[in-house]
A and B are shown apart, each in its own frame.
Chain A
Amino acid sequence: DVKVTQSSRYLVKRTGEKVFLECVQDMDHENMFWYRQDPGLGLRLIYFSYDVKMKEKGDIPEGYSVSREKKERFSLILESASTNQTSMYLCASSFVGRTNEKLFFGSGTQLSVL
Chain B
Amino acid sequence: DQQVKQNSPSLSVQEGRISILNCDYTNSMFDYFLWYKKYPAEGPTFLISISSIKDKNEDGRFTVFLNKSAKHLSLHIVPSQPGDSAVYFCAASGVNAGGTSYGKLTFGQGTILTVHP
Residues of chain A contacted by B91 (CB below 8 angstroms)? 43
Interface check B109, CB cutoff 8 A: yes
Complex interface: chain B residues within 8 A of A106 (CB): 43
Q: Across the two chains, which residue of chain A brings its CB closest to B109?
A: A42
Which residues of chain B from 30 to 89 have a CB within 8 Å of any chain A CB? 32, 34, 41-46, 49, 89
Q: In whole angstroms, how far apart are the Cα atoms of A40 and B109 in the complex?
A: 5
B99-111: contact bitstring with A at CB < 8 Å (1 yes, 0 no)?
A: 0011111111110
Interface size class of B (residues with CB under 8 A): 20 to 34
Contact yes or no, B93 A107, CB < 8 A: no
| Stretch touching chain B among A61-69, A77-85, A94-102 | A94-102
B-chain residues with CB within 8 Å of residue A103 when the two chains form the complex: 44, 46, 103, 105
* Among B6, B41, B44, B106: residue with most chain A CB under 10 A: B44
A45 at the B interface (CB under 8 A): yes
Bound: A58/B107 CA distance, A: 12
Give the docked Cα–Cα distance between A101 and B104 (Å). Answer: 8
Q: How far is the CA of A43 from the CA of B106 in the complex (A)?
A: 8
With A90-B43, A101-B101: A43-B107 Cβ-Cβ less than 8 Å: yes
Q: Is residue A21 within 8 Å, beta carbon to beta carbon, of the partner chain? A: no
Interface of B is mostly: loop
Also in contact, A40 and B9, with CB within 8 A (given A103-B46, A106-B43, A107-B41): yes
Known: A41-B109, A42-B109, A42-B110. A98 touches B42 (CB 8 A): no
- State A4–B89 Cα separation when bound (angstroms): 19
**A residues less than 8 Å from B106 (CB atoms):** 45, 59
Q: Which residues of A contact B41 (CB under 8 A)?
A: 9, 107-108
Contacts of A97 in B (CB 8 A): 103
Q: Which residues of B contact A (CB under 8 A)?
A: 4, 6, 9, 32, 34, 41-46, 49, 89, 91, 93, 95, 101-110
* 5 sampled A-B residue pairs with Cβ under 8 A: A4-B43, A31-B104, A50-B102, A94-B103, A103-B103
